[in-house]
Amino acid sequence: MIYPANLEKGFYIGVTATSAGFEDEVDLKRLSNAIANFEKRGYPVITTPNVKRSDNKGRSSDAATRAKELSDLVNDPRVRVIIAACGGEFLLEMLPYVDYMAIKNSPKWIQGFSDTTGLSFTITTNLDIATIYSYNFSSFGMKNWHHSLSDNLLILEGNDIVQSSYDMYQDGYYKRVTGLEEFVPEKEVEWRNLPPKGFEGIDEIYIQGRILGGCLDILKSLVGTRFDKTVEFAERYYEDGILWFFESYNLNSEGMMHALWQLREAGWFKNAKGFIFGRPAMYESLYEISYEEIVCSVLGELGLPIILDADIGHKPPQFSIINGAIAKVRSKNKKGTIIFERR
């Protein structure tokens, strides 16, 4: 596994709009504050032209342009980290135009979540280059950083810290007024353990493996495409095994079942060590089927430990996951920790 060079003082953070961009005044203010927040910490920021555009029906620019602007940052020797401006719906369109050889020749930390899964997962599984599944750039525009954002920066700087589950999380979505809004802690964080059949009495789950995953809404679309090298990746790291992490945006119970079933039948889970799921963002139960029931209906037969409602994904705060690294996850008494080894 290749780990890009750590972020060091004086090197740049590059921001590009791999899906949507910004035009709204509030979003632009948040962008400006995110830039200021990094610069006062010693990290100048470069933004590509499409970051301040969103005039193409949810797209910052056409797919080829998005790929080119990504390449501009990849090829810039001053840049150590590239962060997606925000999420969206259309990143997958740019995958055929991405210059993968440039990324292979000049690995940079590429970070984002949700729609950015299409890029980060593809880079990790195709090129054996670690990526970061964590906040898009706009989150760094809040007035006072949540400590999960500071943890994110520490990881980009090369620190292998222990990330512990947070006390509270934001359950809903709130319209921004100033652009500087922080997270709204509403509900208590409670991880849920689902031990394999026959081990129901245990109160702690520990899973170690090479971590891989992202947003299920996107991953299901990669299955069987020319960008799907997942089975080959799992075989290369057979001795480590794969610790899968997932989260979802707007999959209902039916969509969740379809997504997990598709990944399972494509052979993605043949070398799995276990699963950790983030809090689902917009899960809707059809036929009165709970999230837990859906997950168990597809994955239960594998006889592997499963953790639900972890600090991953759309309901912040979230962990920063080093996609491709060795991860050690421990969950007990509704709380958990994760730490990575870069090997």
Q: What is the pLDDT of residue 23?
A: 87
Q: Per-residue pLDDT averaged across 257-279, rounded? A: 98
Amino acid at 16: T
> Looking at residue 202, what is its pLDDT?
85
Q: How far apart are CA 282 and CA 291, in angstroms?
A: 11
pLDDT at 258 over 90: yes
pLDDT at 94 exceeding the cut of 80: yes
Average of pLDDT values for 143-148? 97
- Strand pairing class (45-47; 109-112): unpaired
In order, the DSSP letters of 162-220 are: PEE--SEE--S----SSS-------EE---EEEPPTT-TT--EEEEEEEEEEEEHHHHH
Q: How high is the mean pLDDT of the chain? A: 96
Closest CA to 121 of 234, 7, 276, 41: 234
252-290: string of b/e by CB count within 10 Å (b at 16+)? bbebbbbbbebbbebebbebbbbbbbbbbbebeeeeeee
The mean pLDDT of 231-237, rounded to a whole number, is 98
Handedness of CA 312, 313, 314, 319 (dihedral sign): positive
pLDDT at 226: 98
Please state the separation of Cα 69 from the chain's center in Å: 21
pLDDT at 214 over 90: yes
The predicted pLDDT at position 236 comes to 98
Give the per-residue pLDDT at 197. Answer: 84
- pLDDT (0 to 100) of residue 54: 80
Q: What is the pLDDT of residues 149-162, one digit of tens each?
A: 999 999 999 999 99
Mean pLDDT to the nearest integer, 72-94:
97
Q: What is the pLDDT of residue 200?
A: 78
Triad 169, 123, 32: Cα angle to 5°: 50
Domains of the chain (ranges, CATH numbers) = 12-161 (3.40.50.10740), 164-341 (3.50.30.60)
C-beta of residue 139 within 8 angstroms of C-beta of residue 313: no
Secondary structure of residue 111 in the 3-state scheme: strand
pLDDT tens, residue by residue, 10-22:
999 999 999 999 9
Average the pLDDT over each of 24-28, 198-202, 290-294 and give the range with the smallest value.
198-202
**Higher model confidence: residue 286 or residue 43?**
43
Residue 150 neighbours by CB under 8 Å, 6+ apart:
none
Rg (CA), the chain: 19
Burial of 201 by CB count in 10 Å (0-12 exposed, 13-18 middle, 19+ buried)? Answer: exposed
- pLDDT surpasses 80 at 199: no
Burial grade of 175 (CB within 10 A; 0-12, 13-18, 19 or more): exposed
DSSP state of 150: H
Answer yes or no: is pLDDT of 171 > 80: yes
**pLDDT for res 325:** 98
217-233 average pLDDT score: 98
Per residue in 296-334, pLDDT (tens digit) is 999 999 999 999 999 999 999 999 999 999 999 999 999
